[in-house]
Chains A and B, each alone.
Chain A
Amino acid sequence: MTRKPQKTKPTKVKMSKKALLEIKALHVTVDGKEILKGMDLVLNRGEVHAIMGPNGSGKSTLAYAMAGRGGYEVTKGRILYGGRNLLRMEPEERAAEGLFLAFQYPVEIPGVANTTFLKEAFNAIRKHRGEGELDAMQFLKLVRQKTKELGISDDMLRRPVNVGFSGGEKKRNEVLQMAVLNPDLAVLDETDSGLDIDALKVVAEGVNALRSPERAMLVITHYQRLLDYIVPDRVHVLAGGRIARSGGKELARELEEKGYAEFAEAAA
């Protein structure tokens, strides 16, 4: 039932010291269908990259493959994270090593209180890093501070994870988890979808608070508006299973005007 955690040896590769994430010629198949067909991406520490692209182009597939979801089979290529082979790690190890995915569709878990969940996750990661666990009181103090910053009610902490949360509340809860777990690499999969304008600002502030020279972020979005608040260093268009075009932040605005028509060929 339990898979043996695989020991991951640091992979010796020549890469720039700054690169936190290197995706090389990545092919991912879901249910026998190839979705990613040779995708490349380099994300350096301190950078924020945005990924845009038409519906169904494989943005979430990329995010899930990075997080290690079952059924997302990497058939070719590799992902290096901090110079290590990310694909050889169990999902929990990826998280403990500082990878965080804010889900496009957060999962409901009846019967598990949100605080219990956060505390288990927080302490599991601390344990992995050889740090001491926080007790209930210490942890609550930490969480309270974050919920205050993010405008999240105590009620949402007590309730079972995401159960009965509105769409926007679920997204805020993802950002709360990110704030508590303090990742090195955050992948936000349409965290802005379903948020009202005030919530969008709060979420963006939460994300910006994490920006640092050591960390990096991959922001998947359909909307320019989020990128007004979280200004990206690079913008990529994912179409046809690979990065079809990359540019600066102005690319997002251009896409918003013109749509993805020019990539239709790549997607076909």
Chain B
Amino acid sequence: MAGNSIAVRPFVEQFAALKAGLPGTGVPWLGDLREAAIERFGDLGVPTPRLEAWKYTRLRPLEKTAYRAVGEADAAADAGRLPSVLGAAAGHRLVFVNGRLRPDLSTPGALPDGARIESLRDALASDPGALEAQLGRIGVLDGQPMLALNTAMMDDGYVLRVGPGVALPAPVEIVFLGGTADEPVACHTRNLILLDEGSRATVVEHHLGAGKGAYFANGATEISVAGAAHLTHHKVQAEGSGALHLATVHAEVGADATYEGFCFATGARLSRYEVGVRLVGSGANCSLTGAYMMRGDQHCDNTTVVEHTVPDTSCREVFKGVLDGKARGVFQGRIVVREDAQRTDGNQTCKTLLLSDRAEIDAKPELEIYADDVKCSHGATVGAIDEDALFYLRSRGIPEAAARGLLVRSFLAETLHDVKPEPLAEALEEMIAAWLSQAANGEQHE
């Protein structure tokens, strides 16, 4: 075992103590799934930098902090006034507090016939059999200890199912609020998005945290985009400054289907967005876009694995990071092209803007190509603010802070210009402006 076995123990003990109360108890296949997963987690251990996939990210908070499992009281916490990144444009809104659905804060609205959205708890209570073939199918546990832990402990989450040919007219907004408990808690949220043939949906996740305290959000999402379906999956990660945020996303994309994943991150002390996409139908297409702004001693890891398994699939990845203070960014991008996957079009860029000379980025692209007729490219750049451009702007009367802001925004622009719906794009602009104004005021600069 390359993992850390000491950090494993508390979770294994928690599982033993809590398993009788986890949702879906008494459902045999689910019990088996959980047992197998905790065993796998125990075998793999908590990842350490000795594992190639975790080379640049050490889960120190798991070594130092004892996180207890969330309970009823945590879920019932006062959520205060929750912001919305979609406003009135959100047709359907679910709010989770410390990992559990809060019906009193949610407005699921009416979905078209053939589509439904509900919490994992509700889905397991009403018709667990419907999930048997799906849960744990796409998110395979090989080399995935944190996903294994999530599978064992999954407590709640959202389940979105869209039937054949159904298009959701309005986006779905999911809010995850953490950090309201008075001691460190762990939330293992499990989501499922299942789009049938020819359906369409837009899901916007907003992860945010109250206060500065430590908490652990260990989320996992399994996604199936069937033939000719289209999923737009946006994520805004603005967790509290003491958060450990891990998000494992596994998507399977069918013939002529599209998965568009986008993540904008400014939050958490340590975060990892790990996306695995398998393009399994000819003509399948995906785009993965990431933008992040980090400062202080934040650590932000974006790890992607895109697997082309059949002919004529394509994927475009663009990740851009702005790092200030002592912040650290990690980008690991693996592209796997299987023997049969002729005419694969894969393209990956990772660009980083360092605003401080103590900030750091580790970028590791990996191409694994077994087919001979493919078009794959990758590129990584790292740079500082262009002093000549800065002076040029200032020489025209633009104050230094505004000039820097303009240059940072222009750097990120490429990742943002395709973001729809419009209210989300505006919300992101505001978040960027807020981040920049903190920089101008010298906050969090040590």
A: residues with CB less than 8 A from B are 1-3, 5, 67-70, 90-92, 94-96, 101, 103, 106-112, 116-117, 120-122, 124-125, 128, 160-161, 177, 181
The answer to whether B387 touches A95 (Cβ under 8 A) is: no
Would you give the shortest CB distance from A185 to chain B, in whole angstroms? 13
Query: A residues within 8 A CB of B89?
Result: none
Least Cβ–Cβ distance between A182 and chain B, in angstroms: 11
B357 to chain A, nearest CB (A): 11
Closest chain A CB from B409 CB (angstroms)? 8
Among A67, A68, A107, A124, the residue within 8 A (CB) of B398 is A124
- On whether A107 and B388 interact (CB within 8 A), knowing A91-B394, A95-B394, the answer reads yes
Mark the stretch among B47-55, B124-132, B399-407 that contacts chain A.
B399-407
Instruction: State the main secondary structure of chain B at its contact with A.
Output: helix
Q: Please tell me if the beta carbons of A2 and B442 are within 8 angstroms of each other in the complex.
A: yes
Q: In the complex, what residue of chain A is closest to B324 when comparing beta carbons?
A: A1
- Which of B391, B401, B407, B410 makes the CB contact (< 8 A) with A70? B391
Which chain A positions have C-beta within 8 A of B393? 109, 117, 120-121
Sample (12) of A-B pairs whose CB atoms are under 8 Å apart: A1-B445, A2-B442, A3-B400, A92-B394, A111-B407, A112-B407, A121-B396, A121-B397, A124-B396, A124-B398, A124-B399, A181-B397
Q: Is the CB of A103 within 8 A of B392?
A: yes
In the complex with contacts A111-B411, A112-B406, A120-B402, A125-B391 CB distance below 8 A: no
CA of A99 to CA of B18, assembled, Å: 71
With A111-B411, A112-B406 as given contacts, are A124 and B442 in contact (CB-CB < 8 Å)?
Answer: no
Cβ of A106: which chain B residues have Cβ within 8 Å of it?
Answer: 392
Choose from A2, A68, A109 the contact partner of B407 (Cβ within 8 Å).
A109
Point out the residues of chain B lying under 8 angstroms from A120, CB to CB: 393, 398, 402, 406
Asked whether, in the complex, the Cβ of A111 is within 8 Å of the Cβ of B399, the reply is no
Candidates A1, A95, A161; contact of B395 at CB < 8 Å = A95
Which chain A residue shows the least CB distance to B445? A1
Is B389 close to A, CB under 8 A?
yes
Give the chain A neighbours of B402 by CB distance below 8 A: 120, 124
Within the assembled complex, what's the spacing in Å between the Cα atoms of A218 and B364?
A: 52
Number of B residues near A (Cβ < 8 Å) is 30
Q: Could you tell me if B397 and A124 are in contact, using CB atoms closer than 8 angstroms?
A: yes
Known: A70-B387, A112-B407. A125 touches B440 (CB 8 A): no
* A70 surroundings in chain B (CB, below 8 A): 387, 391
Does B439 interact with chain A (Cβ within 8 Å)? yes
Contacts of A109 in B (CB 8 A): 386, 389, 392-393, 407, 410
Query: Assuming A103-B392, A109-B392, A181-B397, what are 11 further A-B pairs, CB within 8 angstroms?
Result: A2-B400, A5-B399, A91-B394, A103-B395, A111-B409, A111-B414, A112-B407, A117-B406, A121-B393, A125-B397, A181-B396
B391–A91 touching, CB < 8 Å: yes
Docked complex Cα distance between A117 and B394 (Å): 11
B residues less than 8 Å from A125 (CB atoms): 397
Q: Tell me the minimal C-beta distance from A213 to chain B in angstroms.
A: 24
Q: Is B7 an interface residue (CB 8 A)?
A: no
> Which residue of B355, B396, B400 contacts A177 across the interface (Cβ within 8 Å)?
B396
> B441 — nearest CB in chain A belongs to which residue?
A2
Give complex CA distance A96, B394 in Å.
Answer: 10
Which residues of chain B in 356-405 are interfacial with respect to chain A, using CB atoms and an 8 Å cutoff?
A: 386-389, 391-404
Other-chain contact of B440, A2, A5, A90, A117 (Cβ < 8 Å)? A2
Given A1-B355, A2-B440, A92:B397 Cβ within 8 A = yes
- Asked whether A92 and B400 contact (CB < 8 A) given A67-B395, A107-B389, A109-B389, the answer is yes
Q: CB-nearest residue of chain A relative to B391?
A: A69
B392 & A95 in contact (Cβ 8 Å cutoff): no
A108 neighbours in B (Cβ, 8 Å)? 389
Q: Enumerate chain B residues within 8 angstroms of A5, measured Cβ to Cβ.
A: 399
- What chain A residues lie within 8 Å of B2 (beta carbons)? none
B399: nearest residue on chain A (CB-CB)? A92
Judged by a CB distance under 8 angstroms, whether B20 is at the interface is: no
Q: From residue A108, how far is it (CB to closest CB) to chain B in Å?
A: 8
Please report the C-alpha to C-alpha distance between residue A164 and residue B288 in the assembled complex, in whole angstroms. Answer: 29
Q: Cβ of A68 and Cβ of B395 under 8 Å apart?
A: yes
Contact partners of B396 in chain A: CB under 8 A: 92, 95, 117, 121, 124, 177, 181
